[in-house]
Amino acid sequence: MLRTFEIEPTAPQRGSVIWLHGLGASNHDFDPVIPELAAPDLRFVFPAAPTRKVTINGGAPMPAWYDILSFADPPLREHEPDVRESARELDALIEREHERGVAYENIVLAGFSQGGAMVLHAGTRFAHPLSGVLVLSGYLLLPDRLQAEHSPANLATPILMAHGRMDPVVPEFLAKKSQGLLTAAGHAVDYQLFHMGHSLCLEEVELIASWLRARFPART
């Protein structure tokens, strides 16, 4: 099981958010964002990626969900065995939340950059309906496998893709192409662009907060 940092709910729990960090980053990167989301009834689970060598960074070892071979078209873009391994680890975290009493349909997958790519990969393939998939500055992994591998259980699961128009790390065209492939496969995708690079901005954080409120509407 991956090592995790968790922020427990301060109100009766209604769901869980499993949030994956980006390449070379830490599972504490998004600590400052959580208070801005005003979601006291959610548990936030931040797993830490294993350290592995990353080809596009000169083979330097760093926290990474998978080795990135290039940003060219498939099949030689990401190291598939790493993607499969990380997907299994993410599935295990989903199952752990389920065993802790959280229904699958109350679990959100979220991730930034490489983490966003991973949650999109795993979320579209998971065998049970999830609450939603939040992809921040991410893209579709192994796109040529989507049609054969995606799960009918999550066709209606809301996917929010938020991206920067000026992103120099994950170019916007790559996210846009991913959206097109997902939509063609029948997935429900909300695609939002922001005037930013490879980062988060205030307007994006506000969108995330409202999107989470839609997943867990106030009780009446």
Q: What is the pLDDT of residues 173-200, one digit of tens each?
A: 999 999 999 999 999 999 999 999 999 9
Q: Check 91, 98, 198, 199 and give the catalytic one.
A: 198
From CA 103, how far away is CA 16, in angstroms rounded?
9
Q: Give the residue ranges of DSSP H helices in 48-185.
A: 80-99, 114-125, 146-149, 172-184
Q: Say if CB 175 and CB 160 are below 8 A apart.
A: no
Query: What's residue 23's pLDDT?
Result: 97
Q: How far apart are CA 172 and CA 165, in angstroms?
A: 6
pLDDT on residue 70: 85
The predicted structure's pLDDT at residue 147: 95
Beta-carbon-side half-sphere exposure of residue 149 (alpha carbons within 13 Å) = 16
Q: What is the pTM of this model?
A: 0.96
* pLDDT recorded at residue 185: 97
Q: Domain ranges in the chain? A: 4-215
Mean pLDDT of residues grouped by 10 in the chain (220 residues)? Answer: 96 97 96 96 98 96 96 76 98 98 98 98 98 97 95 97 96 94 97 97 98 88
Give residue 76's pLDDT. Answer: 66
Catalytic residue among 150, 163, 167, 178: 167
The verdict on whether 198 is a catalytic residue reads: yes
Distance CA 93, CA 158 (A): 20
For tokens 């078209």, the residue is 73
**Active site residue: 86, 113, 131, 178, which one?**
113
Torsion of the alpha carbons at 204, 38, 135 and 130, rounded to the nearest 10: -150
Would residue 41 show up in a list of annotated catalytic residues for this protein? no
Q: In terms of CATH architecture, what is 4-215?
A: 3-Layer(aba) Sandwich (3.40)
The predicted structure's pLDDT at residue 75 = 60
Vertex 114: Cα angle to 108 and 116 (nearest 5): 25
